[in-house]
Structure 1
């Protein structure tokens, strides 16, 4: 007889332990063991490891997989169990690792592969191939595509979070803290009598009393500086939407700005400043012609502005002209800093409100949340656990499917907060999402390409670009190291059918088979694969943090980012005042619902996992494990550099600090 030493580790999660009897069968290249009951002297498989011995008449050779099942004891009900991993030491002295990380709730046999990553063309054992096929067959049932609205990326089919597979749901900690944050925010508003108050604001200082205890250093700074032109321009580089501004080399025909309008003293010309790279444009054309929402029985207003900026000699990005509608007209004046205080301020307020909708629906919801969901669902449907791509990407899908399901239930549904209280809610919301998807390109999702295409390589004080490019390079080196270890040449990429199904599903269900997006329909080289996987990780971690984490910082003071506006913009200059501004701002209940939502979406849970940290051990080989350690070290070095840089800034830019951003779209 030969003995195999088996160590079973149960996950450190609430409800992970089981009181059922656990059985294991070892399957090797030369045979298999008997189904053996694993003994735990504590009568339950709880936190920690349980060691047992499995005996065989002779060695069964190199282990291929294990079979696990659990059976209820007399008088004990069947329960659920979350085994984390199984380690087996063979009589030959070899150690085999089996990553599990799977909830087992029934009495069926579940197969798990040995931890060495295998592409489909390397998987030569007949039982291994069969296990691979059965796993994907089950996954296709568990993770089904659904159409939420025609014309936007498909999503997972699930009525509510409880109908999602257990592995992709929130932890107990995450669920509890998420509910607590939402409940306490709304309760506070109701106790103050604000949540249902449909009156106008009559004093701007009253707005600061909404969440007097929910403040951040940056939200306080925003309150003090929101009217200032240089801070208005700063937000286009380092606020929550750094994705719209681009270098302007020629003015659009429908934006008839002249030198005399923006440089009245004749100190310079638009043509010369454009040549120097000092003129920039933000164009909200996606919002043109939308039907704005009706809130509290009142029609709301949403503009599609054009904003012109000038980089001054002291490296400030200053707004110099604002046109609030796309088509020039007598009743659509162009506003300038030389106009009256409230004419110019009101123009900026309408721009900031438009930016709220552009940011939330295009930059945030579509280009991070919805795309990350597509990447995740395609991975879970097409790529088995033993595949290197699964091992690489599964940590970057954590909580994404549930947070998106909640968004569809609570934010953008017919009764959702965004639908009820945003100017772009309702009919306009889906129009923006459809327009946004039609304008997304592969290059716009890759920060090096996007920065180059927008002509922003040399803009000073652009911390999103500086930190983002460094992060992209670090992620790219890590991904290249891991994937090059498994794919030695382009031919191996081309013949990996699971890999090709993954990208084809993304093209089909995420980008609706639109070839104009530039999204690959297949992978033909290692380099192409590395770039795409880098984009997937960057999108779900860094990019999401950049456009999500600062939402309350910049929107906690509502006048800086109004969720809606309820008077039309001025059609004639000289007709605005502070009273006009207060009447234009959203009603009290609209304001507070928006602020409460931004607070909720900016709060990380205590089980937050920062980029590059992988609590689950999916990789077994030395080289990938070393690459993970190198990845973490590079991220730590960048984090230190960002913290040092931020010490000298009035407004620290922390959203791309690797220690502050999460591995996945989890909030």
Structure 2
């Protein structure tokens, strides 16, 4: 079968070349008009923070004039797809250089700063039909090359070259940049004159694994997370290297090649804080100027007055507290006065005051403003109810952890024993059922943070954090909502692990000291869940695990490859935001360590969770079944029956998952007619091998990896990648501000344990409930930093591209995939209407809850800004 398939592919290849050569004979003696769309960028000095702010204020995009880029500054050489140069290793014949001519007006210029130039390609039988081109930039600065289009090519009509790439001056490259037409080829079907160019371009993208990467380079390579420490600052800024060991396994990141630190040769040196936005990622992976300006707003806001001073000792002083909930509400009404500091004073000299106010979101009097989070927009107190506490486990920002309780004591890798009081508290609230009966009827659910936290809890509680590992038990009511039954708070024994644990169980109460203790227990659960969400659900299981897929795709799959074309939109901006995160957020002493409870243990906790990461279980149906939240049922929609019918994340997610899977199946089946074609695709097999053995190399020997020997395995793999990078990330990212922008609803840290009876602090639990809670959770200054952080992470930028959309309409020349993609887009529109209808159905009480906040986190499209909806194609923020 393999030999027959190969023979067929070769024959098809030869027939295609003959057809193109016949068409090429029609080209002799004339010329073809074309146009080039590009955008020029001013050189911006990202080494100076203040100058960056000024640059953003003026606009990063120049208006390009014909004089600047016309004439002989930029030249293009088309490459034959049909005729090989026997004197040049059988590479396609090269045409003579043609230069950009006059600027022209065209609808292809859709972004401010873009300009189109005409060009003339002289017809030549030696060249025939172009399949690629080389471009040489003799200008002094880089420009963004969007598209090149040739008109009226005989036998073809238009030929589109979709480029979307930065082209630097020629002296930056060993070879001129190459771009291919939007035709898609499996490796065995590539026209022979383009084969060598295809291979050489992949070699260029892989690099040689040496040297420090430069801004203009496009090299994709792997490294460990060895850039999180700053040993020169002392032991408090040292973190383990993640990746490359059984103790600390981790996905690989993009290599930057910065030199090691003097203090530790295994640790890569870090950029100064004010150069954070210039961290290396391959040039085409960097943010657009629009996204840069958004992140600058956060960076200014954070560094100016939220980030705590550099000396860690200053953190130990008692911070200013919120005294009550009303004081927090002033944050959204402009009532927090911005205190000037030395940084503010220095940048105000170079930045217009009106621009500074916009970036810092302050009014003319310097009062800090934030938009009102959705969770308190309609009702200022419903967030505190038990109903909302439980609902957010199904329709909140982290709806991927709740499980159906399938046995008791709760299954644990660490300790099979449970506090015996848990059984008592549970059975008191089961309306006459026994615990075993409720489990059998799938009426009990658990939010369990015990196994994740307990190995780190003793260390965490030596920092400024003081918290518990929590288990929350809930039951399903007749109306389809969840009711909390009990919360277990667990601590390591103060005398040592050999003495076991200390566990207390709290049950729901509204009034008196019992009501306050119940509120505190719920707050500790929220603290646990906030840390788990940020470090594991969000960072690890979307951002970190996708980065190796991006690197492997660019190193092993040509831009001509169908799977590259399928996956590429779902990788946009991810390496850039991850690089920024390593600089500002997840590094030692970074913003994430300051705002979530695990503090310096944050990435270690994430690393421990990666040991249990299983790629096939990232498929939504597999995840729901594993958590006991669904069972297989051939007669149910999508082949699954949800245990909780009104589980908004799962209901909407299964619709999106099914739409993605159908689109991927339609697309892949067009290029792969059988399993043998998957097995014989050399680039695909190299991609999958490198992804497993290098990108996720610490888990390479796990038996669960797909073998990539069948079309079904390819479809499932690509569906998981797209689901994680688009819908899953959207569901757990864009609700961060709507739910967590109000700190009492989703506190990220706790600073004290429940006070001992007989102490003044315990007395305060009885006399001032709000103040007692606010003294326990995140303090004011870190709350403001956290609000600022989740605001920028929850905001859609103007250049966002959503699921079912492409940034360029001519992304492929193959009609069947284009039709399948159009069908995919229409299916997503139908899902939007379905979500709207469900959110209007008052019987579905989990979709809006008492806070009257409809579940829209898996609504595919969105407007710009802080909307609480929209599924971008990629992890772009």
Q: Tell me if both proteins adopt one fold, taking TM over 0.5 as the criterion.
A: yes
Correspondent of 2:540 among 354, 366, 385: 366
TM-superposed CA distance for 1:222, in Å, is 7.5
Q: Which moved more, 1:587-596 or 1:387-396?
A: 587-596
- For the pair 1:204 / 2:325, whether they are aligned, the reply is yes
Q: Which moved more, 1:156-165 or 1:317-326?
A: 156-165
Deviations, residues 448-498 of structure 1 (Å, cap 9, x unaligned)? 111112121220321100110010110011111111111111111111121
Q: Which residue pairs with 1:228 in the alignment?
A: 385
Alignment map for 1:34-53 (pairs within 5 Å): 34-42=95-103, 47-53=114-120
| Separation (CA, whole Å) in 2 of partners of 1:152 and 1:143 | 18
Q: Which residue pairs with 1:581 in the alignment?
A: 773
TM-superposed CA distance for 1:565, in Å, is 0.7
CA contact (8 A) 1:437 1:511 kept: no
TM-superposed CA distance for 1:622, in Å, is 0.8
Q: Which residue pairs with 1:139 in the alignment?
A: 205
TM-superposed CA distance for 1:48, in Å, is 5.0
Q: Which structure is higher in RCO with an 8 Å CA cutoff and minimum separation 6?
A: 1
- Seen in structure 2, the aligned counterparts of structure 1 residues 259 and 519 have a Cα distance that, compared at 3 Å, is closer
- Secondary structure of the residue that 1:313 maps to in structure 2? coil
Q: Which moved more, 1:543-552 or 1:148-157?
A: 148-157
Q: Which moved more, 1:589-598 or 1:46-55?
A: 46-55
Alignment map for 1:589-628 (pairs within 5 Å): 589-616=781-808, 617-628=810-821
CA contact (8 A) 2:457 2:491 kept: no
Q: Which residue pairs with 1:657 in the alignment?
A: 859
Correspondent of 1:112 among 167, 174, 179: 179
Alignment map for 1:207-356 (pairs within 5 Å): 207-212=328-333, 213-220=370-377, 223-251=380-408, 252=410, 253-255=416-418, 256-257=420-421, 260-264=424-428, 267-284=432-449, 285-291=451-457, 299-325=464-490, 331-338=502-509, 340-356=514-530
Q: Which residue pairs with 1:494 in the alignment?
A: 679
Deviations, residues 196-253 of structure 1 (Å, cap 9, x unaligned)? 9813333232222234342133343585223211111111111111111111121124
- Seen in structure 2, the aligned counterparts of structure 1 residues 293 and 540 have a Cα distance that, compared at 3 Å, is same
- For the pair 1:532 / 2:742, whether they are aligned, the reply is no
CA contact (8 A) 2:79 2:94 kept: yes
Q: Which residue pairs with 2:571 in the alignment?
A: 397
Q: Which residue pairs with 1:439 in the alignment?
A: 612
- Secondary structure of the residue that 1:469 maps to in structure 2? helix
Deviations, residues 353-410 of structure 1 (Å, cap 9, x unaligned)? 0001111101000001111212111111111111111111111111111111111111
CA contact (8 A) 1:5 1:54 kept: yes
CA contact (8 A) 1:246 1:281 kept: yes
| Separation (CA, whole Å) in 2 of partners of 1:380 and 1:185 | 34
CA contact (8 A) 2:473 2:486 kept: yes
Q: Which residue pairs with 2:160 in the alignment?
A: 97
Q: Output the TM-score relative to the length of structure 2.
A: 0.70
Q: Which moved more, 1:503-512 or 1:490-499?
A: 503-512
Give the aligned length. 658
- Seen in structure 2, the aligned counterparts of structure 1 residues 15 and 510 have a Cα distance that, compared at 3 Å, is farther
- Seen in structure 2, the aligned counterparts of structure 1 residues 96 and 269 have a Cα distance that, compared at 3 Å, is same
Deviations, residues 406-428 of structure 1 (Å, cap 9, x unaligned)? 111111112311123322121x1
| Separation (CA, whole Å) in 2 of partners of 1:476 and 1:496 | 21
- Which consecutive residues of structure 2, in runs of 5 or more, have no partner in the other structure? 1-27, 41-60, 85-92, 208-218, 226-241, 244-248, 259-275, 308-314, 334-369, 411-415, 494-499, 630-641, 842-847, 862-869
Correspondent of 1:409 among 571, 580, 583: 583
- Secondary structure of the residue that 1:2 maps to in structure 2? coil
CA contact (8 A) 1:81 1:103 kept: yes
Q: Which moved more, 1:491-500 or 1:203-212?
A: 203-212
TM-superposed CA distance for 1:566, in Å, is 0.8
TM-superposed CA distance for 1:561, in Å, is 1.6
- Seen in structure 2, the aligned counterparts of structure 1 residues 485 and 66 have a Cα distance that, compared at 3 Å, is same
CA contact (8 A) 2:422 2:505 kept: no
TM-superposed CA distance for 1:42, in Å, is 3.7
TM-superposed CA distance for 1:642, in Å, is 1.1
- Seen in structure 2, the aligned counterparts of structure 1 residues 571 and 119 have a Cα distance that, compared at 3 Å, is farther
TM-superposed CA distance for 1:66, in Å, is 2.2
| Separation (CA, whole Å) in 1 of partners of 2:144 and 2:741 | 42
Q: Which residue pairs with 1:165 in the alignment?
A: 282
- For the pair 1:22 / 2:75, whether they are aligned, the reply is yes
CA contact (8 A) 1:80 1:105 kept: yes
- Which consecutive residues of structure 1, in runs of 5 or more, have no partner in the other structure? none
Q: Output the TM-score relative to the length of structure 1.
A: 0.91
- Seen in structure 2, the aligned counterparts of structure 1 residues 451 and 628 have a Cα distance that, compared at 3 Å, is same
- Secondary structure of the residue that 2:715 maps to in structure 1? helix
Q: Which residue pairs with 1:514 in the alignment?
A: 699
| Separation (CA, whole Å) in 1 of partners of 2:594 and 2:478 | 44
| Separation (CA, whole Å) in 2 of partners of 1:236 and 1:309 | 10
TM-superposed CA distance for 1:185, in Å, is 6.8
- Seen in structure 2, the aligned counterparts of structure 1 residues 301 and 326 have a Cα distance that, compared at 3 Å, is closer
- What's the RMSD between the two structures over aligned residues? 3.0
CA contact (8 A) 1:382 1:501 kept: yes
CA contact (8 A) 1:222 1:560 kept: no
| Separation (CA, whole Å) in 2 of partners of 1:355 and 1:327 | 19
